[in-house]
Amino acid sequence: MKESQLPKPLTKRQVWRLKRVAWRNRVFASHKFQNWAARTPIVRLIARKRAQRLFDLVAGFTYTQTLLATVESGLLDSLGQGVLTVDGVASATGLSRDAAVRLVQAATGIRIAEEVAPGHWMLGEEGAALLSNVGVRAMIEHHRLLYRDLADPLALLRDDRQSPTALSEFWRYAANADAASESAPDVAHYSQLMAASQTMVCEQVLASYDFSGSRQVLDIGGGMAVFASALAHAHPQLEVGIFDLPGVVENAAERLAQDAKQSAIALHGGDFFRDSLPDGYDTMSLVRILHDHDDEPAQTLLEAIRAALPPKGTLVIAEPFADTSGAEAMGATYFGLYLWAMRSGRPRSAQEIETMLRIAGFRRIRRVATSQPVITSLIVACA
C-alpha cells in the first residue's frame, strides 16, 4: 500500500461519526427494533422501503438476467412495435407459451413490460426509455462477460489480478497494441461497443463544456471517433483529431469515410504509453480513458499530455467519479468490480484525479457539473 493510501489518525469528528454509525447498526440489527418498526404506522413505511432495497440487492442478478433475456430474445423490440398477446410474445422470442409468459411477467416486474389488459403487454416505463438507448443495450449484451467473471466474486478478488478473465481477454488490446492490430475481429468488437455506449457521454460533455475557446482538439483514446465526430459537428470551426491504436484507427477511418463532413478529422495511430502524442493541439480530451488504467500508467499519461500541450493548453477529462453524490454505487461498486475483472484501472474520486493532475504539472483545475453525473462528470485542467 502506498504511503498516500495509508489511513490517517481519526479526527474528533470522525470518531464521533464512527460511534454514531456503530450505534445505528446495533439498532437496525436488533430484531426487537425491526418488529417495532414493522408495527409502527409511520416507521413501517420506512421499514418496508428498506426491506425492499435489501431484497433488490439479493435479487439483483435475476433482474439483470431478465433484462438480458428481454433484449437478446427480441422481446424488447417487439414490445416497442405495439401490443403483444401470449402468442405474440412466444412468436417474438421463439419460446414456448409457458416460457414466454414467464419471461414477459418477469420483465413486467422490473417495468420493462406492462400488462395493459389481461394477457396483453406493452412496453413499461423502463422499457420505453431503454428501447432507443443503443449504448445501454450494447452494455447489457456486453455484460455477459462480466457476469461470467463474477460467478465466483471471491475467487476473482483472491486471484489479485493474476489470471486472465473473460473481460481482460476482451479488453487486452488496451495493454498490447500488437495483439490488437493482429486481431481485427476483437478490435472491431471493441470499437463497436465503445461507439454504441459513448453517445450518452458525448451529449453530456458537449452540453456541459464549451469548446468554442479551443482551436485544435485531440481526443486521446478516441476509438471510433464518436466523440470527435460529435465535437466536429457541434463546433465546425475546430480542427479535430483522434489518437488511438492503429487497428482501432483503421476502423475509425472506415466509419468516417462514410460521411464527407467527418473526413477532415485527423487520425493518429499509436500507443499513448509508448509513442509521443501529436503536437499542434491546444486542447486534449480523455473520454472514459483514465479510469481504465492503474495509477502509474494513468499518471504517466497525464504527464505526457502535459508535456504535449502548449502553454495555457487545456485537458478535458470525462468519466464517472467514485465519489459522485447519488451515484456512489456506479463508481465504487459497478466500476470497482468491473475494472478489477478487466485487470486494469480503478474508479477514482475527483479529488484523486485533481491530485494526479497537479503532480503532472497542471495548475488551474476545476470541476464542471453535468446534468447526469451517473453517466459522466468533468474535470478541466489548464497548463
- 29-131 and 156-382: identical CATH topology: no
pLDDT score of 80 = 95
* pLDDT score, position 62: 95
Identity of the residue numbered 117: A
Class of residue 156 by CB neighbours under 10 A (exposed 0-12, middle 13-18, buried 19+): middle
Measure the CA–CA gap between 316 and 125, rounded to whole angstroms. Answer: 34
Q: Nearest-CA neighbor of 193 among 179, 173, 178, 164?
A: 173
Q: How far apart are the first and last CA of the chain?
A: 30
Cα gap 76→124, rounded to integer Å: 10
- For the record, the C-alpha cell of 59 comes out as 435479487
Residues with Cβ within 8 Å of residue 279, at least 6 apart in sequence: 308
Q: What is the pTM of this model?
A: 0.80
Residue pair 339/345 in contact (Cβ under 8 Å)? The answer is yes
Task: Tell me what pLDDT residue 51 has.
Answer: 81
Q: How far is CA 373 from the centre of its chain?
A: 11
User: What does the domain layout of the chain look like in residue ranges?
Assistant: 29-131, 156-382
Q: Which of 156, 63, 78, 47 is nearest to 108 (CA)?
A: 63
For residue 344, count other CB atoms closer than 10 A to its CB.
Answer: 20
Residue 109: what pLDDT? 96
Q: What is the pLDDT of residues 268-298, one digit of tens each?
A: 999 999 999 999 999 999 999 999 999 999 9
Annotation: CATH topology of 156-382: Rossmann fold (3.40.50)
pLDDT of the residue at 188: 56
Residue type, 215: R
| CATH code of the domain occupying 29-131 | 1.10.10.10
Query: 78-98: per-residue pLDDT in tens?
Result: 999 999 999 999 999 999 999
pLDDT at 192: 62
Q: Residue 6: what pLDDT?
A: 58
**320 neighbors 377 (Cβ within 8 angstroms):** yes
Contact 139, 199 (CB under 8 A): no
Instruction: Say what the pLDDT of residue 189 is.
Output: 57
Low-confidence ranges of the chain (pLDDT < 70): 1-7, 173-196, 260-263
The pLDDT of residue 64:
94
Residues whose CB falls within 8 Å of the CB of residue 104, separated by 6 or more in sequence, listed in order: 75, 84, 89, 113, 121
Can you give the pLDDT at residue 91?
A: 97
